[in-house]
Structure 1
């Protein structure tokens, strides 16, 4: 039975590795070398670097550290690690065919090693490698969309070029500066009745734009204990360990704040009125001079959950409507806890 279980685990890992890789190649299908090498934003590496880094991580952790093999392509040991070259120097990349060869060579050796690897001891690492590739693909998808929008703007406006700054990515963000201090901390917003300002929540899935988003209704979460965190093999370090928490009764919006709702804050001079901002938030705003979320669209049909807001903007919006952001434990209990069956749900 034990050997069957181990073999089943190998098969699952094999399937997940291959399925993830198919999605990765779909992202890169049809892009040109200029797009492959271009740094679309100072905070991010070129998409081609992400592709090479995926291969580097597999080679480093699975083949070198676990298998004891030498680096597959020693010449890439400086280019593709995350902690050696500054992002702006990662634009000098091999050809797309060469990077794909790197990926293919590493993957073949990885699959060979999978047949003999001590999966019982390494399962978490194999899961991490799959998650690692998926996370980089999320970044690649974002960067490709950023470049596509900028390219579209260049076609519409005379004098624009493919090297315009990211400030010009969206054709409706004149009040937004690329040095807005957001870094990678952009968040969605979900609200609670106001008691005090707390920590921002995680990002939210974007609903189908064809479906109308209802006004946010409030639901009550009863007081009681629940299990927070996860010990599942897929769980990352910051999700561990699963532990029992007690949470007082509270109410929370059923849906994230939409662009339409956030627009009310903007049109009510929310960015100009210091009463909605904390002292630190107002200081931040005076330093960055923004009047809308990053990559904001003026198209009223774009009524997704608002994104591209900093902690200070989310805090100010909550003050404006008399609510607050949930704590981590409040958000997690509302999202995953099935009180009736006293168990965690995998998804909200």
Structure 2
């Protein structure tokens, strides 16, 4: 298969990466150096470390691992590799300032766009994974961290960020074939104390995880297996 035949898929993934990065920048663009570090808490990361980690993860897997490019940020592994940098030490690291971190993020995304635009035959890494696997990997990884950035801002009582929802793209959602439309629940139109009561979850048995034939899945989502959940209740609103 030629590179040209794979371009539409790769192109859409790159556009999804750009859209997701725009959302990430909206979530942190108003923070100064002090706010981007924040207090040391067990339940959050320093936001400046978090966005640096997002860029490093993209560099590590797409540029270094798949593209075989040399590292851009010296000592990046010592700063941002979450598998080896203990959570409690992340506030004490010699992290670049917020402006330098944002510049690093921009540089990595530009390099990824440049790498994916080159005309070449379809490549695989040593384990047999195509380029699109690693683009999916870093895309979903950044989106998960956007969720973490959102609840971190809430935890630290920061003001809500300015989000340009009207111009958000949904190509990244369309790429995930597993996402199915959900029918509207008529109960959600009820009034009174409906939303202030508990949601009763009946429990039951269901399949947890994904099989390798479902397209992209994280390695810790594989080996789908059946689990049983006891009935429980959850508040509908915080």
Question: TM-score scaled to structure 1, two decimals?
Answer: 0.48
1:93 positional shift: 2.3
* 1:258 match: 234
CA displacement at 1:85 relative to structure 2:
3.6
The whole-number CA distance in structure 2 between the counterparts of 1:242 and 1:251 is: 15
CA RMSD of aligned residues (A): 3.6
Contact 2:10 2:132 in 1 (8 A): no
1:63 aligned residue: 63
| Alignment correspondent of 1:160 | none
- Within the alignment, does 1:90 sit opposite 2:71 as a pair? no
Higher helix share: 2
Runs of 4+ in 1 over 4 A off after TM superposition: 1-5, 214-221, 225-228, 250-253
Query: Equivalent residue for 2:23?
Result: 23
Tell me which residue corresponds to 1:237: 219
Cα distance in 1 for residues equivalent to 2:98 and 2:3: 40
Please say which structure displays the higher CA radius of gyration. 1
Matches for 1:79-158 after TM superposition, within 5 Å: 79-91=79-91, 92-116=94-118, 118=122, 121-148=130-157
SS in 2 for 1:258: strand
Q: Give the deviation of 1:229 after TM superposition.
A: 2.5
Give the number of aligned pairs. 196
> Is contact 2:200-2:233 (8 Å) kept?
no
Equivalent position SS for 2:112: helix
1:228–1:25 Cα change, 3 Å:
closer
Provide the secondary structure at the position in 2 that maps to 1:257: strand
The structural deviation recorded for 1:241 is: 4.6
SS at match of 1:101: helix
1:4 Cα deviation after fit:
5.5
Q: Deviations over 1:33-82 (max 9, x none)?
A: 11101244134320110111111111111111111111112143322221
Instruction: Summarize the Cα distance change of 1:83–1:252 in structure 2 as closer, same or farther, 3 Å threshold.
Output: closer
Counterpart CA distance in 2 for 1:20 and 1:114 is 17
- Matching residue of 1:32: 32
Q: For structure 1, which runs of at least 5 residues remain unmatched after alignment?
A: 152-207, 260-302, 307-348
Instruction: Tell me if structure 1 keeps the 8 A contact 2:24–2:146.
Output: yes
Separation in 2 of the partners of 1:228 and 1:99?
A: 34
User: CA–CA distance in 1 between the matches of 2:208 and 2:81?
Assistant: 37
8 Å contact from structure 2 (residues 200, 234) kept in 1: no
Q: 1:53 to 1:228 in 2, by over 3 A?
A: closer
Q: Distance in 2 between matches of 1:113 and 1:48?
A: 26
